[in-house]
């Protein structure tokens, strides 16, 4: 009797031990699989190859609308960001419909600065794509100072888009369900996409037009657009730097990106306000870009074709690596240029 009972208890103890061991190893195995899955997901999210499509700039393709403005779409499998929204309210909307680009799945928008030629299309784009997706174009990133009120020397107020008042623009956007995030420092808004936030003026003080003023400590002072920010895409070859106008200075902006990750400035895209720059400025800019390893350039808007050609010539960039952006120009996820129908 005792022998059988002892054998039964010993067998049960062994069974429980085996089950406990299996459960322990099973838990560890499940944890290993979870960690492996997270690692694979992390690796995938870090790769984030974006395709960049120009949606607004001075030169149009056949059927598009060109204007003095800039907008571009960064699009990857897992995320997308619209950078700037053009000048006239319907320009980017016309161009995306013309190009067959659907923005209903794009939730994030970057406004490079308050100027109307970068903010004019936001509200109509939100209205158009909202019915398909309540979150479409609803998260808007602006740099600190964006909502500061500007005015001319005669006191005429100037705000974003078609608005005289910056607060009226903000209220109209929020009434459409738009949420603003004010960026004060370098911030990653999507995998490998970084906003500079306000750019310290070290190498260049100000690169842009004069004539507007802001109130600072009770005094009216010239506006040097401290809310200017750029978008950096960290590729395998280095930074791809996109600016709306580059009022902070190209070199200053590049140094902010390199403070995030010390990597070459491999590509510049968009407007850099060099169209009126003198030879000294162009030579200094080209020399710095050459030192940083620039290999690809898609200038648009206020960069100026002559200025872009000067820089490309000094760096000896082959024609395949330079584009004077037009509506529909593309930089692929492999960092090659697909030209629009008019380039």
pLDDT in tens, 265-304: 999 999 999 998 999 999 999 999 999 999 999 999 999 9
Burial 68-94 (b: 16+ CB within 10 A, else e): ebbbbbbbbeebbbbbbbbbbbebbbb
- Band (pLDDT 50/70/90 cuts) for residue 29 is very low
- What does the alpha-carbon distance between residue 246 and residue 273 come to, in Å, rounded to a whole number? 6
Separation in Å, CA 247 to CA 54, 178, 204, 333: 20, 26, 9, 27
Maximum separation of any 2 CA atoms in the chain, in Å: 109
- What does the alpha-carbon distance between residue 322 and residue 320 come to, in Å, rounded to a whole number? 6
Question: Between 282 and 46, whose confidence is greater?
Answer: 282
Q: Where on the phi/psi map is residue 335: left (φ > 0), alpha (ψ -120 to 50), or beta?
A: left
Query: In the chain, what percentage of residues exceed pLDDT 90?
Result: 80
Q: What is the mean pLDDT of residues 208-212?
A: 92
- Band (pLDDT 50/70/90 cuts) for residue 341 is confident
Evaluate whether the domain defined by 48-338 bears CATH number 3.60.15.10: yes
The pair of three-digit structure tokens given for residue 295, joined into one six-digit string? 């290999």
Dump pLDDT digits (tens) for 112-122: 999 999 999 99
What distance, in Å, lies between the first and last C-alpha atoms of the chain? 96
Question: Between 204 and 13, whose confidence is greater?
Answer: 204
Which of 44, 68, 74, 41 is CA-nearest to residue 56? 68
Q: What pLDDT was estimated at residue 134?
A: 98
Q: What pLDDT was estimated at residue 95?
A: 98
3-state secondary structure of 245: coil
Q: What pLDDT was estimated at residue 44?
A: 39
Dump pLDDT digits (tens) for 251-262: 999 999 999 999
Dump pLDDT digits (tens) for 62-99: 899 999 999 999 999 989 999 999 999 999 999 999 99
Domain map of the chain by residue range? 1-47, 48-338
What φ, ψ does residue 282 adopt, rounded to 5°?
-65, -40
Question: Between 209 and 43, whose confidence is greater?
Answer: 209
- Band (pLDDT 50/70/90 cuts) for residue 238 is very high
Q: Poorest-confidence range of 15-29, 242-256, 277-291?
A: 15-29
Query: What secondary structure does DSSP assign to 82-117, as a single string?
Result: EE---SSTTHHHHHHHHHT---TT--EEE--SS-HH
Give the count of beta carbons closer than 10 Å to the beta carbon of residue 33.
10
Q: What pLDDT was estimated at residue 34?
A: 40
Residue 46, pLDDT > 70, answer no
Q: What pLDDT was estimated at residue 208?
A: 86
What mean pLDDT, rounded, does the chain reach? 89
C-beta of residue 91 within 8 angstroms of C-beta of residue 56: yes
Q: For 316, how many CA atoms within 13 A lie in the half-sphere containing its CB?
A: 1
Q: What is the mean pLDDT of residues 154-180?
A: 98
- What does the alpha-carbon distance between residue 135 and residue 107 come to, in Å, rounded to a whole number? 6
DSSP state of 326: B
- What does the alpha-carbon distance between residue 223 and residue 151 come to, in Å, rounded to a whole number? 9
Q: What pLDDT was estimated at residue 343?
A: 77
């Amino acid at each position: 009797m005792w022998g059988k009972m002892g054998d039964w208890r010993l067998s049960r103890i062994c069974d429980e031990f085996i089950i406990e061991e299996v459960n322990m190893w099973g838990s560890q195995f499940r944890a290993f699989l979870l960690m492996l899955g997270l690692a694979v997901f992390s690796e995938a999210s870090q790769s984030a190859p974006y395709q960049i499509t120009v949606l607004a700039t001075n030169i149009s393709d056949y059927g598009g609308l060109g204007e003095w403005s800039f907008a571009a779409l960064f699009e990857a499998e897992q995320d997308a960001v619209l950078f700037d929204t053009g000048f006239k309210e319907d320009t980017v909307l016309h161009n995306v419909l013309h190009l067959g680009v659907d923005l209903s799945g794009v939730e994030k928008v970057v406004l490079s600065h308050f100027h109307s030629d970068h903010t004019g299309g936001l509200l109509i784009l939100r209205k158009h794509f909202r019915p398909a997706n309540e979150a479409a174009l609803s998260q808007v990133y602006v740099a600190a100072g964006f909502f500061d009120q500007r005015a001319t020397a005669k006191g005429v107020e100037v705000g974003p888009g078609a608005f005289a008042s910056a607060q009226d623009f903000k209220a109209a956007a929020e009434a459409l369900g738009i949420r603003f995030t004010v960026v004060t420092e370098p911030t990653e808004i999507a995998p490998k996409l970084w906003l500079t936030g306000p750019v310290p003026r070290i190498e260049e003080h100000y690169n842009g037009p004069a004539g507007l003023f802001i109130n600072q400590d009770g005094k009216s002072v010239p506006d040097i657009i401290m809310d200017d920010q750029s978008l950096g895409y960290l590729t395998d070859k280095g930074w791809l730097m996109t600016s709306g106008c580059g009022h902070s200075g190209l070199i200053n902006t590049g140094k902010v990106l390199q403070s995030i990750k010390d990597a070459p400035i491999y590509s510049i895209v968009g407007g850099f306000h060099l169209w009126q720059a003198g030879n000294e400025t162009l030579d200094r800019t080209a020399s710095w870009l050459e030192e940083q390893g620039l290999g690809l350039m898609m200038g648009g808007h206020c960069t100026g074709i002559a200025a872009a050609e000067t820089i490309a010539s000094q760096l000896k960039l082959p024609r395949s690596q330079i584009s004077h952006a037009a509506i529909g120009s593309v930089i692929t996820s492999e960092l090659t240029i697909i030209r629009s129908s008019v380039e």
